[in-house]
Structure 1
Amino acid sequence: MTAATDALYGRALVEEATKKSGLIWVGGPGPVRALWHVWADGAAHVVGDGPGEQPLPDLVDGARADVTVRSKDKGGRVVSWTAAVTELAPRSEAWEAAVAELKGKRLNAPDGELMVERWAEQCRVLRLTPEDARTDLPDGSLAAAPLPTPATTREPVPAALPRLLFKRKQR
């Protein structure tokens, strides 16, 4: 295959894999983050950094980001690509088009129809435009320790729980 054909296949793989995946991992100067997104107009769009929204990596307009896309059914890495980052100005034509797609994918929004206004005032919408695709697998693991968070699912075991479980086994 020629370099032009490889580039076309890479671009098609990026688009199809990113469209089908519910999450992409985006890294910049800060930690890599798993983000929900939408694919529209040849790029991935993400919203965040506001109250009740996902935290975005430390990306600025004009920066580059590394994006890794997982397989929706198996969860493994399909493709990685470098993205040009564009921060969309609130209420611009490009912002309106991206937000129209994003609001349809936003699950469990706390404020329903007011969500778009909140995004315009308090959040950032980023456009991640693919520049190149890498389909070769890395030599080592890409596993990373989870980011610190105040969220927890562990609480002390209720005092009556061992008694209740013991009674259930005796029946």
Structure 2
Amino acid sequence: MTETAPDALFERALIEEAAKKSALVWVRGPQGPARALWHVWHDGAVCLVGDGPLEQPLEGLGLRDGGTATVSARSKDKGGRLVAWPAHVTELEPGGAAWAAAAEELRGKRLNAPDYEQVTERWARECRLLRLAPAGAAGQRPGAMPDGRAAAAPLPTPVTTRRPAPAGLPKLLFRRGRAARD
């Protein structure tokens, strides 16, 4: 099925609004599971910074200049996935006009940086700044969502928070309830 011009414009507007309003987008590169990343929408694309010692990790996603990724954004109202689209990855080079403009937008969102005044200089030295531009029709959008659950199984980990309840806990809870009634 070919997309008509109004459908393409609606889809582009949906991608832009979802990315602008969402604090995080989920990015799936050629490798590994999708990862939630903070970003800004700038000049028609999702821009993000990472791989530095004080920034979000991008390694393991396989995001490379000229590569592809899938970006998902959630609904601000309901919290569920609203749209997912293919993206073309461009790594912006420090010192260029595109890098400076994107870095300044990102800096405005990175208010808790320990070196806020010099954060763009640190990014130029230590980090990667990526631009993920929409590259084709959204694979998922209202009216075109996959059937069934799309939740991924949690990654295996030895970490756990589940332990048996302490033996005395039921007595404490029962006593507390009885004391409140008296």
User: What is the CA deviation profile of residues 111-167 of structure 1, one whole-angstrom value per residue up to 9, with x for unaligned ones?
Assistant: 2212111111111100011122232101232212445789x896xxxxxxx8xx89x
Which runs of no fewer than 5 residues in structure 2 stay unpaired?
Answer: 162-168
Distance of 2:89 and 2:106 partners within structure 1: 17
The answer to whether the aligner puts 1:68 opposite 2:72 as a matched pair is: yes
Distance of 2:156 and 2:44 partners within structure 1: 33
**Contact 2:74–2:83 under 8 Å retained in 1:** yes
CA positional deviation for 1:2: 6.0
Distance of 1:54 and 1:153 partners within structure 2: 24
Hey, which bits of structure 1, 4+ residues long, moved more than 6 A?
none
The total of aligned residue pairs comes to: 164
Distance of 1:26 and 1:125 partners within structure 2: 14
TM score, norm. by length of structure 1: 0.83
Quote the residue 1:141 is aligned against.
149
3-state secondary structure, aligned to 2:70: strand
**Contact 1:43–1:129 under 8 Å retained in 2:** yes
3-state secondary structure, aligned to 1:73: coil
CA positional deviation for 1:61: 0.5
Which runs of no fewer than 5 residues in structure 1 stay unpaired?
Answer: 155-161
Distance of 1:124 and 1:59 partners within structure 2: 10
The answer to whether the aligner puts 1:130 opposite 2:138 as a matched pair is: no
**Contact 1:45–1:126 under 8 Å retained in 2:** yes
Distance of 2:3 and 2:84 partners within structure 1: 20
**Contact 2:110–2:116 under 8 Å retained in 1:** no
Quote the residue 1:95 is aligned against.
99
Query: C-alpha root-mean-square deviation of aligned residues, in Å?
Result: 2.8
User: What is the CA deviation profile of residues 64-96 of structure 1, one whole-angstrom value per residue up to 9, with x for unaligned ones?
Assistant: 110111012321011111111000001211000
Q: What amino acid sits opposite 2:26 in the alignment?
A: W
Structure of higher RCO (CA pairs closer than 8 Å, 6+ residues apart)? 1
Percent identity over the alignment is: 62
**49, 63, 72: which is aligned to 1:59?**
63
CA positional deviation for 1:108: 1.5
TM score, norm. by length of structure 2: 0.78
Bigger radius of gyration: 2
Q: What amino acid sits opposite 2:88 in the alignment?
A: A
